[in-house]
Amino acid sequence: MLVIFVDADACPVKAETERVAMRHQLAVHIVSNSGMRPSGYPLSRNVIVTEGPDAADDWIAEHIEAGDIAITADVPLAARCLEKGARVVSPTGKAFTSKNIGMALATRDLMRHIREADGVQTFNAGFTPRDRSAFLNSLENEVQSIKREALISGYVGR
């Protein structure tokens, strides 16, 4: 059975993720460096990792498997999950794939270099209702795609 892993610190779509998971009866791991409010969804598990810049990312990358889904805006974590055969969706609904992850990593590095060179802080655009809707559609599509592939291949899962 596929599992959804949420890189939860500053993730604006935790409730939406659980709503999709509930519809499909999927387990969800909400992974963070700090405590999160417990969910009423019985297949949701809060995982609190030790303090550290990449502790949540490391936990997700160690536990995710092929056929699972990661929810993250963190491009290096997305790359690590893709390497393990998982699907990755950003909170804005963008699906990271083997075809676009290289460009996403390069853009991230270029933007970091520009910030370091000119000292000007950049900001992400605000999260909009359109982003939330795109996320819900993208996550639903990924779940449906994985289920179809499992049906075709006869994969039973964990």
For 95-125, write each residue's pLDDT tens digit. Answer: 999 887 767 656 656 666 666 777 766 666 7
CATH class of this structure's domain 3-153: alpha beta
Residues 46-80 pLDDT 10s: 999 987 778 999 999 999 999 999 999 999 999 99
Provide CB contacts within 8 A for 152, sequence distance 6+. none
Paired sense of beta strands 44-48 and 69-71, if any: unpaired
Q: How confident is the model at residue 134 (pLDDT cuts 50, 70, 90)?
A: very high
For residue 63, give the nearest of 2, 145, 16, 105 by alpha carbon: 2
Nearest to 27 by CA among 2, 61, 63: 2
Taking residues 34-41, report their average pLDDT: 82
Contacts of 120 (CB under 8 A, 6+ apart): none
Integer Cα distance of 63 and 24 in angstroms: 21
